[in-house]
Structure 1
Amino acid sequence: MKKGSLEHLKKLNRHLVLETIRSNQPISRAKVAQKLNLSRSTVSAIVDELISKKFVMETGFGSSTREGGRKAIELRFNPRSGFGVGVELLLKGLFICITDLDGYVVWKERWETDKDFRTIYECILSSLDKASVLMDAVIAVGFCIPGLINCKEGIIVDVPEFGWKNVHFVDEMKKYLAKPIYINNDVNCAALCERWVGGAKDLDDFIYIYIGLGSGVGSAIVANGSLVLGKDFMAGEIAYFLLEEDVSSNRMNMPGEFGIFEKKISGSALAGIEGTVQQLFRAYKKGEPSSILAVNRFVTSLSVGIANMVSLLNPEKVIIGGEVSDYMQPVLNEVQSKVSKMTPIQTTIETAMVGSEAGAIGVIAYSFELEQNIM
């Protein structure tokens, strides 16, 4: 076997052993070997390496066998053996989140500051210090960014909010951070957060729809366990959805303008009716006719969009996030009912479990997934 192939096999086995311990803890070396159909000597060598790196710890003897045989030493995954740093770039500053390997937040902090690379680096150092986490324990640093991202090349293609175009973000940050660095779009990150610690935990097929208080509308698609990015990293741009009524009225999507579907379901569109989204839904609950009409129109438009996505992608769940989702509980059952009537392909529709931290936590999940071969 070639050296490269042997190294790949070792990494694969190491990952399999670690995930088996993580999913079945506490578990003995013998049971790991049995589950993976690997030799006990191979598993023992891998476990010894994982213990030396503190990814795994021995927790004492388990129960004896049925035959009264010797008790085996049991193993557990150690989530505090490494940490991730997630940095969400905001219009006014940064939001930094630090988690362990299980997604438990050990520190979070918002910084109202400039977004030059040195300042970002200094804020990360300060947050790590406050969290009592050493840089040596950081597995990776991820950046959640509100715009069009080439995550494979580490390039910010376009972020209109910041006036950024074609910024080689990862290359610039590498001048300050000697750690693996990853970037992704904020909606994708929020979806990955829900998959890691939220309502889509461990699901391989789901859709995340973001509806912000402003003009922002977007979605992220997870299919067969992977993010669907698209040729130009623009998969999930539901803001550009069209209905037959739009085409017949010659309402088309134009470059540089808000999408037609976005104009129907965004926070800005809803707020323009009653003043704020909160006021609109409050008036809806009070039974005010104009608000009922506006919310019903929103529910129908959103349901049509979801039904079309469900028919195309067959997701197990559709999760609605963003600030508007905070007000949607009174109409969620109606959205579910309408979608169920619009398509024979059934799904579950829920609001997101994780709020404003989702982007920063999700980009940590994304970074850990890409760095899993180190474990």
Structure 2
Amino acid sequence: MQLKSLNKKRVLQCIQENSPISRAEIAAKINVSKPTVSLLVDELIQEKWIFEKGIGESTSQGGRRPIQLYFNEKAAYIIGTDIGGTKVKTVICDLNGNIVASSSFNTCHYLESGLLKQIAKEIDFMVNKEGIEVEKILGMGAGVPGITETTTGIVVEAPSLNWVRYPFIKEAERHIPFPVHVDNDVNVAALGEQWLGNARDKQNVLFIAVGTGIGSGIIINNQLYRGSSSAAGEIGYMVTDKNDMKNEFKPIFHRYGYLESVAGGKSIGDRLTKCIQNEPEHPMHKQALASELPGEMAFKLAKTGDGIALKVIDEAIEHLAYGIVNAASLLNPEVVILGGGVLKSSEFILPKLQEIVNQYLPSSVQLKTSQLGDNAGVLGAVSLFMREHESLIKYN
């Protein structure tokens, strides 16, 4: 019985990856006898996971072309939610990762009354609006900005949400009527890029998110690497200047790491503000004295050739590049994907990063920006669910 269900999964996966495909081609590809494949295909058609088309047109030799099988991506739906410090985005996807409905709300409005309660409301609204049959929804994946125990479903710590040992899955069960899986948001984004983005078909991936802080998701031999206490990938704690550490280094936020305190978005804005405050002639001088300039401002000014902004950015890029050299020499990934808010200025950052990384890395690695951008989190959450949930649809 177990062999049968395993073969059924393999047949379905084969059709999903290669459709349109004939029964004979499947048998050859996965090395299972033709009668077995036919039997399993008939079951899959009955269960609506796949469908067949055409009675096979005749070939030039007059023989019949075999019937082609197609994967039915609309057989079921999965929900993905990306919970961030500023906004919560939720989507409903088909099995190929096409987004059929999407909605978002401001995190702060619902932190007190309960984020999961609000997510459940948004799901109901989307399901009704799109006319999706509830029984077709397999479940939900979620990405959370903090250290998350995937087995217990407890968010150990998510500072931007004020969560400490928050029982995420337990809370989800109160409001959401189907299975839920949760993981750290950067891990989830790494899965998204591997499923549908710039790390497709790659087995060893390092995904680095550079926003206010800096975090990374690590995929080794096609498996997400979480570490002994679910805290792997905290690349923001890397030290890229030992002398700085000796000089009473103070993190930019309480409990932030070294690298994110010198190369994260917040630190870029911070440095820019301080430097401009010391330059009375600078056009932004008054503004810098009045309030802290945001990190984006550094990139805006740098594009106009502003010397101070260029210096601040170059320094941050250098630190980030050394962080990548350290991580990539240890993990030897096929690709390093860079995502997060700071990478919106990638045309500026990427060439400089690549130059330093190539110079110091023993074996070269491709640096790419996230292909999924703002959707890496929600699509990654869908991918997380597909990997963790035991059903016919299993990606790993």
Query: TM-score normalized by structure 1?
Result: 0.92
Hey, what's the Cα distance between the residues in 2 that align with 1:255 and 1:137? 44
> Given the alignment, which residue of 337, 362, 366 partners 1:319?
337
Alignment of 1:235 onto 2:253: no
Distance of 1:91 and 1:129 partners within structure 2: 28
Contact in 1 for aligned 2:90/2:119 (Cα 8 Å): no
Equivalence map 1:83-162=2 (5 Å): 83-91=77-85, 94-112=88-106, 113-114=109-110, 115-162=114-161
Secondary structure at the counterpart of residue 353 of structure 1: coil
Matched position secondary structure for 1:236: coil
Deviation at 1:116, TM superposition (A): 4.7
Secondary structure of the structure 2 residue equivalent to 1:204: coil
Matched-pair identity in %: 31
Report how far residue 241 of structure 1 moved.
0.5
Aligned mates of 1:27, 1:165 — CA distance in 2:
50
TM-superposition CA deviations, 1:77-133 (whole Å, max 9, x none): 111111110122234563111111111111111134523543332221112212222
How far did 1:315 drift? 0.9
CA shift for structure 1 position 342: 0.8
1:23 corresponding residue in structure 2: 17
Find the residue that maps to 1:309 and give its secondary structure. Answer: helix
- The alpha-carbon deviation at position 168 of structure 1 amounts to 2.0
In structure 2, the residue matched to 1:53 is 47
SS at match of 2:232: coil
Alignment: residue pair count: 367
User: Match of 1:242, SS?
Assistant: coil
Report if aligned partners of 2:20, 2:68 keep a CA contact under 8 Å in 1.
yes
Q: What is the distance in 1 between the residues matched to 2:390 and 2:66?
A: 28
Whole-Å separation in 2 of the counterparts to 1:323 and 1:279: 13
Alignment check: 8 A CA contact 1:246 1:252 kept: no
SS of the aligned residue for 1:96 comes to: strand
| Structure 2 counterparts to residues 1-375 of structure 1, below 5 A | 6-7=1-2, 9-64=3-58, 68-91=62-85, 94-112=88-106, 113-114=109-110, 115-212=114-211, 214=212, 216-243=213-240, 244-249=242-247, 251=249, 256-272=254-270, 273-274=272-273, 275-371=293-389, 373-375=391-393
1-structure distance, mates of 2:250, 2:86 = 33
Question: In structure 2, how many angstroms separate the alpha carbons of the residues matched to 1:66 and 1:152?
Answer: 56
Contact 1:310 1:345 in 2 (8 A): no
Give the 3 Å change call, closer, same or farther, for CA 311–93 of structure 1 in structure 2. Answer: closer
Aligned-partner residue type, residue 24 of structure 2: A
CA contact (8 A) 1:207 1:222 kept: yes
Question: Which consecutive residues of structure 1, in runs of 5 or more, have no partner in the other structure?
Answer: 1-5
State the secondary structure of the residue aligned to 2:126.
helix
In 1, Cα distance between the equivalents of 2:57 and 2:319?
A: 58
Is the contact between residue 77 and residue 138 of structure 2 (CA under 8 Å) also seen in structure 1?
yes
Gaps of 5+ in 2: 274-292
Deviates more, 1:239-248 or 1:183-192: 239-248
Deviations 1:287-317 (CA, angstroms, capped at 9, x unpaired): 2222221111111111101011111111111
Equivalents in 2 of 1:65, 1:227: separation in Å? 46
SS of the residue corresponding to residue 104 of structure 2 reads strand
Root mean square deviation, CA, Å: 2.1
Conservation of the 8 A alpha-carbon contact between 1:145 and 1:184: yes
Counterpart code for 2:230: F
> In the TM superposition, what is the alpha-carbon distance from 1:251 to its structure 2 partner?
3.8
CA deviation after TM superposition for structure 1 residue 163, in Å: 1.8
1:116–1:343 CA distance, 2 compared to 1 (3 A): closer
| Whole-Å separation in 2 of the counterparts to 1:271 and 1:26 | 52
Give, in angstroms, the shift of residue 372 of structure 1.
5.6
